[in-house]
Structure 1
Amino acid sequence: MLNPTESMATVPMLSGSERLWGTSVVHDLAFLLARANAISLAEANAAAALHGLKVRSYTVLAIAVSDTRPTQRELAEFLRLDPSQIVALVDELESRALVRREPDPNDRRANVVVATDEGRAVYTAAHATVTGSERTIFGVLSEEERMTLMTMLRRLAAAPDALSA
């Protein structure tokens, strides 16, 4: 495969999608993030599937395990999902007895999502598998580069909250 930093002029006769690395889109941050995300999601979904989860349900479970007791509305806002998607994710996890809904002591109209003991056990096993998958996906980066990428992505991921109003 063509190294993304190489010019098409330096590589003779590529075929298939490899030749597309010579197009201008490889300088588009949105494209690069989307492509890296697609690769990362595919691998993470494969890893999470070993535990009966997908990335989204794994993420909700991870947050529930953190003992932050998020409301479904908070989950929807944080994950940038429609509230109906959160309901479906929590329903799925609840049907497997991995989480439960409890009344929010601050707002009786809302529910908080809490991990069960089984949910904690499944999360612990899934986390180990997903983390191993991440090591594979991001293995092309040094530890320092991975930490820098994580720092930059955290900043980018938090920025839209300030921009969307």
Structure 2
Amino acid sequence: MTPSPTADHPEPAPDGFTRLTEIDLAAEPIFLMARAAALGSSMANQGLAPFGLKVRSYSILAVACSGTGPTQRELGDLLRMKPSQTVAILDELEQRGLVERRADPRDRRSKIVAPTGRGRELYASAKAAVDRAAETSLGALRPQDREDLARLLRQVAF
């Protein structure tokens, strides 16, 4: 199922789109993963908009709420973000009172990112919106297929 059009991703012409799904590129796993990620991000961003979040800021908040005490560097590495991108998003989340940076007891030069109570509450609501977006995006798949997809993607990603 394709998401509704946005300014960043206008609706393709139906005849051209169908024609393009038959080209060699449409059978390449790397392209398919990238396209699926773009579609999923677009749908998730629509669901996250009421919370003032986007996929990347939501992802940082989710990891901060995981109870693992991630450092700024670990967040950037996990999410494949440049340090400047990670810091900019953390600055925004911190200004909104959703996370705080604390000295890492393992290494005083590092900062651990911890959620605030407000951050945990917003994350719970935002997660529900992301879950609804995933349901819409993956609605054509059977539950077992979703589990298989998640397992395969974990193998590729980690």
TM-score, normalised relative to structure 1 = 0.85
Q: What letter corresponds to residue 61 of structure 1 in structure 2? A: L
2:137 alignment counterpart: 137
Q: CA deviation at 1:25?
A: 1.3
Q: CA deviation at 1:83?
A: 1.1
Distance of 2:152 and 2:125 partners within structure 1: 28
RMSD: 1.3
1:58 correspondence with 2:74: no
The answer for unaligned runs of 5 or more in structure 1 is 2-13, 159-165
2:105 alignment counterpart: 105
Select between 19-28 and 40-49 the one with higher mean Cα deviation. 19-28
Q: CA deviation at 1:63?
A: 0.6
Q: CA deviation at 1:27?
A: 1.4
2:49 alignment counterpart: 49
Q: CA deviation at 1:31?
A: 1.1
Q: Compare relative contact order (CA 8 Å, sep 6+) and give the higher one, 1 or 2.
A: 2
Distance of 1:33 and 1:81 partners within structure 2: 18
1:6 alignment counterpart: none
Percent of aligned positions that are identical: 46
The answer for unaligned runs of 5 or more in structure 2 is 2-13
Q: CA deviation at 1:15?
A: 2.2
Write the deviation string for residues 47-100 of structure 1: whole angstroms up to 9, x where unpaired: 111211000000000111111111101111111111111101110100100000
- Matches of residues 1-165 of structure 1 in structure 2 within 5 Å? 15-158=15-158
Q: What letter corresponds to residue 103 of structure 2 in structure 1? A: P
Select between 14-23 and 101-110 the one with higher mean Cα deviation. 14-23
How many residues align? The count is 146
Distance of 1:56 and 1:120 partners within structure 2: 16
Q: What letter corresponds to residue 157 of structure 1 in structure 2? A: A
**Which aligned runs of 4 or more in structure 1 are off by greater than 2 angstroms?**
none
Distance of 2:107 and 2:20 partners within structure 1: 53
Q: CA deviation at 1:130?
A: 0.8
Q: What letter corresponds to residue 17 of structure 2 in structure 1? A: S
Q: What letter corresponds to residue 74 of structure 1 in structure 2? A: E
2:11 alignment counterpart: none
Distance of 1:136 and 1:22 partners within structure 2: 24
Distance of 1:22 and 1:124 partners within structure 2: 40
1:11 alignment counterpart: none
Distance of 2:136 and 2:15 partners within structure 1: 26
Q: What letter corresponds to residue 146 of structure 2 in structure 1? A: R
Bigger Cα Rg: 1
